[in-house]
């Protein structure tokens, strides 16, 4: 009797370990993306503070960043049943950025959505040609940030 209880306990433990490993393998990329986004957010906060100390000012009212972060999410968000994103809407908002601090503020207002940060969502929506165009426009405005 005692032997069969021990075997049942060991089998249950092995089942839990195997299930944990399988779930980790399935969600590994999502976990890595989330950790990367969290690290990036900390770096962005430090960079924003430095730019503010250097005298850089936001180009828009604070509500602009919150509002456009939501508009950007609505534009870039796609799902398994709808793979379309609004490239034009995404580009329109990004073209309204006038300096590095604007981008950082928008990035922080966007936050992490479904384990991705703003940059990851943009890369999921726009093609390389569209991203290059945004980077060129930003560069012409003196923005050093690149997507």
Q: How confident is the model at residue 80 (pLDDT cuts 50, 70, 90)?
A: low
Answer whether residue 39 shows pLDDT above 80. no
Binning pLDDT at 50, 70 and 90, where does residue 116 land?
Answer: confident
Residue 9 reports pLDDT greater than 80? no
* 135, part of any domain: yes
At residue 3, the pLDDT reads 58
pLDDT (average), residues 87-100:
96
Distances (CA, A) of 31 to 35, 122, 125, 141, 145: 6, 19, 21, 36, 26
> In this structure, is residue 84 part of a structural domain?
yes
Q: Count of domains in the chain?
A: 1
Query: Which of these, 35, 33, 144, lies nearest to 97 by C-alpha position?
Result: 144
The pLDDT of residue 97 is 97
Q: Could you tell me if residue 30 is inside a domain? A: no
pLDDT (0 to 100) of residue 5:
64
Helix (H) or strand (E) holding 6: helix 2-53
Query: At residue 43, does pLDDT exceed 90?
Result: no
In a domain, 64, yes or no: yes
Domain that holds residue 93: 37-140
The answer to whether residue 14 is domain-embedded is no
Confidence of residue 82 (pLDDT cuts 50, 70, 90): low
């Amino acid at each position: 009797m005692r032997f069969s209880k021990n075997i049942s306990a060991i089998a249950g433990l092995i089942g839990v370990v195997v299930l944990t490993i399988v779930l980790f393998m399935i969600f590994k990329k999502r976990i890595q993306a989330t950790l990367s986004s969290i690290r990036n957010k900390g770096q962005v906060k430090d960079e924003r503070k430095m730019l503010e100390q250097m005298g850089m000012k936001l180009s828009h009212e604070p509500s602009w960043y919150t509002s456009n972060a939501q508009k950007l999410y609505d534009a870039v968000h796609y799902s398994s049943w709808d793979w379309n994103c609004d490239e034009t809407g995404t580009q329109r908002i990004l073209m309204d950025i006038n300096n590095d601090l604007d981008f950082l503020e928008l990035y922080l207002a966007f936050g992490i959505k479904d384990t991705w940060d703003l940059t990851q969502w943009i890369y999921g929506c726009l093609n390389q040609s569209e991203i290059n165009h945004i980077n060129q426009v930003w560069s012409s405005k003196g923005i050093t940030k690149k997507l």
